[in-house]
Amino acid sequence: MLLYGLLLLSLSFWTSHSVFKIPLKMFAGKFNASVQLDLRTLRKNQSAVESGLSLASDPAGIVNFLDMINNLKGDSGRGYYMQMVIGTPGLTLNILVDTGSSNFAVAAAEHPYITHFYNRALSSTYQSSGRGVAVKYTQGEWEGELGTDRITIPQGPSGTITINIAAILKSEGFFLPGINWQGILGLAYPLLARPDPSVEPFFNSVVGQTGIPDVFSLQMCGAGVSASTTADPAGGSLIMGGVEPTLYRGSVWYTPVLEEWYYQVEVLKLEVGAQNLNLDCKEYNSDKAIVDSGTTLLRLPGNVFSAVVEAIMQTSLIEDFSAGFFEGTKLACWMRGESPWRLFPKISIYLRAMNTSQSFRITILPQLYVQPITDIDGTLDCFRFGISPSANALVIGATVMEGFYVIFDRAQKRVGFAVSTCAGKWVQGNGYHCTTVYTSSCTMVCLNT
């Protein structure tokens, strides 16, 4: 952590009696974006678990969703990953879960930031395709060789599955310090697969070979806990084949998948507090709006980001604030025990509903986008801003997804949102919701053509 240029600001808020001043410290300097949040232990609905409740999305009984609970580790900054056993004899690797790409790829050569790798020569079931492959992400890239091999998922569908696998031989900015995974599981559609859509993605292979429904759902439980904690967290759950009702509360609201490449959705408007940003809704979808677990932050197109920051500065209870906090170059620090979350507004994203004359909103509490990073000398708690500008998309990333149970219902071309049970006690009584609203604005055309 680089800490430069201490700046002492004053922060005020009202109670029913008087105005108080709380010292606010800003620390400059780029911090490691790969180190963000640790995990809050998953809160289960114990009575439901004990009764064996699970949604009958898989009447054939191929999978038991309860077996998949807690099959993820990690956090939004360093990624959520699950264990897989690859090759013959089997090698256990941790694989990053990413709904924003479509290749299954694992380290196949030594790298200073990983502890072990997949050696194709030692697997008797590996078959090379003789084709090279290269993938670039928003952060990082890799090159390697395509082939096939067998995998099993200890906390997933039963049986052995043969999948396309990219052996990563060279990479830059992909494996990072502090990570605990050695590969990536792309869960998007074939159109994003590299080098071309003929490379069947992992989940397509799982559905085809096991017969499970073409649905998976994600619960990621890293919100609200500092990245400096030493606790061993349970990162959440990837449910393959359906929906596990012990992982969410209330109703599920669905939005259509507009095009099957990324999980592209349509955003109708944004609100900060009760303030409508009043932008042309096409700006929210420039040039696409997607749901991507592999992106750490909520990323907004430039004009939208600027409008959100301006609205936060107007509606928050902070008198003055360094622009560096919003730019990602400074951490904001409060005295230990002085939570900043009450000082920031909620942010609401309105999505088009399956009934296209309706919309629903997902409301993002400050606990999700004002994120604890570290403490200083046991006296200050420091936070980062969990929203950033984007040049080419609105990305509903892990910052938002950590508050919700997100259902990727590929069979019916829709993405669902419900309040996650692991969002923690800070959700209750704070108006945290995923609710339907009727609005004439749903007749708007918000897509860029």
DSSP output for 166-234: EEEEEEESSS-TT---SEEEE-S-GGG-SS-TTS--HHHHHHHHH---SEEEEEE--TTEETT------
Can you give the three-state secondary structure of 341-381, one letter per residue?
A: HHHCCCEEEEEECCCCCEEEEEEECHHHHEEEEEEECCCEE
Catalytic residue among 75, 149, 292, 409: 292
Q: What is the pLDDT of residues 306-329, one digit of tens each?
A: 999 999 998 887 777 778 899 989
Dist CA 263 CA 409 (whole Å): 10
- pLDDT by 10s per residue, the chain, length 449: 222 222 222 222 233 332 232 334 444 433 333 333 222 222 233 333 333 333 434 545 567 899 999 999 988 777 899 999 999 999 999 999 999 999 999 999 999 999 999 999 999 999 999 999 999 998 899 999 999 999 999 999 999 999 999 999 999 999 999 889 999 999 999 999 999 999 999 999 999 999 999 999 999 998 765 555 545 555 899 999 999 999 999 999 999 999 999 999 999 999 999 899 999 999 999 899 999 999 989 999 999 999 999 999 988 877 777 788 999 898 888 888 788 898 999 999 999 999 988 999 999 999 999 988 887 877 888 899 999 999 999 999 998 999 999 999 999 999 999 999 987 554 443 444 454 444 434 455 676 65
Q: What is the pLDDT of residues 403-423, one digit of tens each?
A: 999 999 999 999 999 999 987
Annotated catalytic residue 58: no
Annotated catalytic residue 67: no
For CA atoms 422, 77, 68, 209, the dihedral sign is: positive
- Burial class of residue 313 (count of CB atoms within 10 Å of its CB; 0-12, 13-18, 19+): middle
Dist CA 75 CA 223 (whole Å): 8
pTM: 0.84
Catalytic residue among 98, 149, 381, 409: 98
| Count of CA atoms in the C-beta half-sphere (13 A) of 341 | 19
